[in-house]
């Protein structure tokens, strides 16, 4: 069986304790990962400043060039994997094996990660808004004659990664170009992508000593977040809540991304049906940017019925089907528990129209795999508990809302696509502090623009600005 070691500042370490991820279909062990004990992590974090010093020895330009090379290596080359190597196709199959994602979705995510690495200069310009990235090397400069200085907030960034989909890795990957070592805890079912990104960077010339890769327990993850200067956490509601009071940690919990249709948008909802289907079901509904609820000032029932008709057409297919539109769950028990939870909240005020159209149960079996088929929950009022929920499969609630309740009724929303020409509503949306990314017009919630970071800006997270004054001869 494949074995993934811990990487202690690049050095492979085989632990006595291991955890196994199983193949989603056969349920047989597929890969074993060394598990880091908490003390080992604490001990390693004592020397994170040394890793930071290594990255400070490179210019940003050099790191950007390495990221571009890493992009190519990540996408197209064989790279080390434990004591063996892994081809790009083997990588696709491995992620599919332990997460259930069809190959086509893995490739899409792979391209997303490679895209960030290849466009690192654009990404950094978007993050920093600096006129020249050389300022990242000197830590000082000026914009239109005004002095500017900043400093790193910590020696490294600890990242607690999820297992749902590899696309999220594009969020932390730029840290290396921002001269910040990475201490990663991979998701138990998706240890692959972070390992491969590290190997791609190393092959491109980034010293292995700036990477920590620690498959570990929940407690080990906590130690990573406590022990690193800055942190990033991908987690469920409970995990996000546990760290919500710590300003050092950027939290990526549930997105509760939404589409709203008001006024003219609500009246002409049919023309946005493709956009809604894509926002709900792209990447099998596993992303925080997938739309989980649609709020309309028009006829919510008609919209929900039409959406249900479309989403009910989604069928399980083989993992290598280039048109695969839905992923099985790696753990069948989880599928059953989620479905039972949804059912427990359906009542006269909330109805799964997609199940009705499909005529079959939400939990489906296909070639030995368990799927959660799409749900379109028509909800009678914005107060109903099912109005604003998120699950890791194509699940969307459709809610009627009065115009004056928008946008306050939406609550925290990672991405909001607003389909309306109502300028006053635009203004209210622009002023709303709970929306992470606002799309005005027909833009899928899934569409990401790398120079428009949402859910926190990595540069602002890793660096802080300081007041600065100096006599001219000292700053040249």
Partner 1 sequence: MSTATQPDLFAKVQANKERLDAHVREMVEWHFNPETGCPFWLNWAQEAGWDPRKEVTSYADLDKFGNFQDDELRGGPVRRWVPKGLAHRPVYVFETGGSTGIPKSRVQMDDFRIDYENFSETLPDEHFPKGADWLMLGPSGPRRLRLAVEHLAQHRGGIAFSVDLDPRWVIKLIKRGQLQEAELYKQHCIDQALTILRAHEVKCMFTTPKLLEALCEKVNLEKAGIKGVFCGGTEMTPQFHRFAVEELLGPNIYFAPTYGNTLMGLATHKAPEPEDNWAIIYYPPVPRAVLEVVDFDDATKVVDYGATGRVRLTTLTKETFIPRFLERDECEREAPCEQYPWDGVRNVRPFSRFQKSVVEGVY
Using CB under 8 A, list all residues that contact partner 1: 15-17, 35, 37-40, 42-43, 46, 162-165, 222, 226, 234-237, 239-240, 242, 253-255, 285-288, 290, 333-334, 337-338, 340-341, 389-392
Q: Which is nearer to partner 1, 393 or 463 (CB)?
A: 393
Q: Which is nearer to partner 1, 100 or 265 (CB)?
A: 100
Closest approach of partner 1 to the CB of residue 209, in Å = 18
Is residue 371 a contact partner of residue 328, using CB atoms and an 8 Å limit?
yes
Ramachandran angles phi, psi of 282, nearest 5°: -55, 145
Which residues, in sequence order, are CB contacts of 329 under 8 Å at separation 6+? 24, 100, 335, 370, 371, 372, 393
> Please, what's the b/e burial string for 311-349 (b: 16 or more CB within 10 A of its CB; e: otherwise)?
bbebebbebeeeebbbbbbbebeebeebbeebeeeeeee
Closest approach of partner 1 to the CB of residue 95, in Å = 16
Is residue 195 a contact partner of residue 186, using CB atoms and an 8 Å limit?
yes
Is residue 462 a contact partner of residue 178, using CB atoms and an 8 Å limit?
yes
Q: Which is nearer to partner 1, 6 or 173 (CB)?
A: 6
**Bridge partner residues of 369 (DSSP):** 366
Closest approach of partner 1 to the CB of residue 288, in Å = 5
Closest approach of partner 1 to the CB of residue 79, in Å = 26
Closest approach of partner 1 to the CB of residue 342, in Å = 10
Q: Which is nearer to partner 1, 15 or 86 (CB)?
A: 15
Closest approach of partner 1 to the CB of residue 264, in Å = 31
Q: Which is nearer to partner 1, 169 or 389 (CB)?
A: 389
Closest approach of partner 1 to the CB of residue 445, in Å = 13
Closest approach of partner 1 to the CB of residue 392, in Å = 5
Closest approach of partner 1 to the CB of residue 171, in Å = 13
Give the count of beta carbons closer than 10 Å to the beta carbon of residue 170.
20
Q: Which is nearer to partner 1, 130 or 346 (CB)?
A: 346
Q: Which is nearer to partner 1, 79 or 448 (CB)?
A: 448
**182-185 and 157-160 strand pairing:** parallel
Alpha helices in 204-288 (DSSP H): 218-227, 237-242, 264-267, 273-281
Q: Which is nearer to partner 1, 38 or 208 (CB)?
A: 38
Q: Which is nearer to partner 1, 88 or 162 (CB)?
A: 162
Gyration radius (Cα) of the chain, Å: 23
Tell which residue, 270, 264, 234, 268, has the closest CA to residue 249: 234
For 35-116, list the strands marked E by DSSP. 79-81, 84-86
Q: Which is nearer to partner 1, 341 or 470 (CB)?
A: 341
- Residue 38 structure tokens: 């908490």
The distance of Cα 296 from the centroid of its chain, to the nearest Å, equals 27
- Cα dihedral 236, 238, 239, 240, rounded to 10, equals 80
Closest approach of partner 1 to the CB of residue 254, in Å = 3
Closest approach of partner 1 to the CB of residue 122, in Å = 27
Q: Which is nearer to partner 1, 236 or 299 (CB)?
A: 236
Tokens 């590290």 belong to which residue?
Answer: 198
Tell which residue, 76, 108, 93, has the closest CA to residue 2: 93
Q: Is 38 exposed, middle or buried (0-12, 13-18, 19+ CB in 10 A)?
A: middle
Q: Quick check: bond before 448 cis, omega within 30?
A: no
């Amino acid at each position: 069986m494949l074995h993934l070691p811990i990487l202690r500042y690049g050095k492979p370490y085989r632990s006595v304790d291991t955890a196994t991820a199983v193949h989603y279909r056969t349920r047989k062990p597929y890969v074993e990962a060394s598990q880091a004990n908490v003390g080992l992590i604490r001990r390693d974090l004592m020397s994170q400043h040394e890793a930071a010093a290594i990255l400070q020895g490179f210019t940003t330009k050099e790191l950007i060039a390495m990221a571009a090379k890493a992009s190519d290596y990540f996408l197209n080359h064989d790279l080390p994997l434990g004591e063996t190597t892994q081809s790009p196709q083997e990588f696709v199959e491995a992620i599919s094996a332990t997460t259930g994602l069809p190959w086509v979705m893995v490739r899409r995510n792979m391209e997303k990660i490679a895209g960030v690495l290849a466009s690192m200069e654009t990404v950094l310009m978007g993050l920093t808004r600096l006129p020249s990235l050389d300022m990242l090397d000197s830590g000082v400069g000026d914009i239109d004659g005004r002095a500017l200085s900043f400093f790193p907030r910590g020696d490294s960034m600890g990242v607690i990664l999820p297992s749902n989909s590899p696309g999220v890795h594009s969020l932390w990957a730029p840290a290396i170009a921002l001269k910040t070592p990475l201490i990663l805890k991979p998701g138990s079912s998706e240890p692959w992508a972070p390992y491969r990104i590290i190997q791609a960077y190393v092959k491109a010339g980034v010293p292995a000593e700036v990477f920590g890769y620690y498959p570990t327990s929940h407690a080990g993850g906590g130690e990573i977040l406590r022990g690193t200067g800055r942190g990033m956490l991908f987690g469920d509601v409970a995990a996000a809540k546990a760290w919500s009071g710590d300003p050092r940690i950027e939290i990526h919990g549930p997105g509760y991304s939404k589409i709203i249709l008001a006024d003219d948008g609500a009246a002409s909802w049919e023309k946005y049906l493709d956009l809604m289907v894509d926002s709900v079901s792209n990447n099998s509904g596993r992303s925080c940017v997938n739309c989980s609820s649609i709020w309309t000032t028009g006829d919510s029932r008609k919209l929900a019925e039409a959406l249900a008709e479309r989403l009910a057409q989604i069928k399980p297919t083989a993992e290598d089907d280039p048109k695969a539109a839905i992923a099985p769950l790696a753990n069948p028990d989880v599928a059953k528990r989620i479905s039972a939870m949804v059912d427990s909240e359906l009542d006269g005020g909330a109805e799964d129209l997609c199940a009705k159209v499909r005529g079959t149960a939400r939990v489906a079996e296909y070639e030995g795999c368990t799927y959660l088929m799409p749900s379109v929950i028509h909800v009678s009022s914005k107060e109903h508990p099912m109005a604003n929920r998120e699950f890791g499969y194509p699940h969307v609630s459709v809610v009627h809302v009065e115009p004056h309740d928008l946008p306050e009724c939406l609550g925290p929303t990672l991405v909001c696509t607003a389909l309306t020409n109502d300028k006053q509503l635009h203004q209210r949306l622009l002023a709303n502090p709970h929306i992470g990314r606002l799309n005005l017009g027909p833009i899928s919630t899934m569409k990401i623009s790398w120079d428009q970071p949402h859910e926190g800006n990595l540069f602002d997270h890793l660096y802080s600005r300081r007041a600065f004054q100096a006599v001219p001869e000292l700053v040249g």
